[in-house]
Each structure stands twice: as structure tokens, then as C-alpha cells.
Amino acid sequence: QVQLVESGGGLVQPGGSLRLSCAASTSIVNFNFMGWYRQAPGKQRELVARMSIVDVANYADSVRGRFTISRDNAKNMVYLQMNSLKPEDTANYYCYADFNWSVFWGQGTQVTVSS
């Protein structure tokens, strides 16, 4: 069983930045993917960004060029640097890990972009 704990969410003004962190309870070296989903009220959960075991990153069209995902295998961490935030980025952000034919989720961290 893998436990994931997110941190770094909060309230930020449009155009601002936040950095989300996700700490895994075990080594992530062999995780096929780690990444971030988000879910806004009344909407489906959507993939924001993910990084593969060979450090290939994928992004949703809506965040490409503004968000950057990174992975630190030594610290068992994955990060999401979010720049130029927009009100439509407001959502609960969930860290996930794809490992050993299972998907594990964190509890989520709220990001609110508002003036």
C-alpha cells in the first residue's frame, strides 16, 4: 500500500504561482507514473500532468507552458510548479501514483485562484 500526502495548496491571485508537493510513503523509483489530477466543483477529475519512470512529462493542453512537473526519486517526492495561475485552475488537486498494476491517490489539496 502506498500513501501519498499533498501539500502546498492555498489561495492565490490570478497571475500568481504555487508549488504543490506530494510525498510518497515508499520509494518511487519503480513507479510507472506519478502525477497530478484536479477536480473542480461539478466537473470530472482531469489529468493535469504526469511524469513517467523515464522522466517523460505529459501535460493537459490547458496548463502546458504554465505548469511544470518534476520528480525527485531520492526524496520520494513529486512536485507541480504552477505559474500564471488563472481562475479556471481553481480545483482540488490530487497526487497519484501508478505502480504494480495499481493506482494510489492522495487526499487532495485545494487551490483557489481569485482576486
Provide the CB-side half-sphere exposure for 41 (13 A, CA).
5
- Whether residue 111 is predicted with pLDDT greater than 90 in this model: the reply is yes
pLDDT of residue 92: 98
pLDDT of residue 100: 85
DSSP tag of 76 = T
How far is it, in rounded angstroms, from Cα 30 to Cα 27?
7
Residue 89: phi and psi, rounded to 5, are: -85, -5
Rg of the chain in Å (alpha carbons): 13
Contact by Cβ (8 Å): 36, 48: yes
pLDDT of residue 74: 94
pLDDT of residue 110: 98
DSSP tag of 84 = S
Q: What is the pLDDT of residues 22-66, one digit of tens each?
A: 999 999 988 999 999 999 999 999 999 999 999 999 999 999 999
Q: What is the pLDDT of residues 70-108, one digit of tens each?
A: 999 999 999 999 999 999 999 999 999 999 889 999 999
- Cell digits for 78? 513529486
pLDDT of residue 58: 97
For 103, the 3-state DSSP assignment is strand
Q: How confident is the model at residue 1 (pLDDT cuts 50, 70, 90)?
A: confident
In order of 11, 58, 78, 110, the CA distances from 44 in angstroms are 22, 19, 23, 15
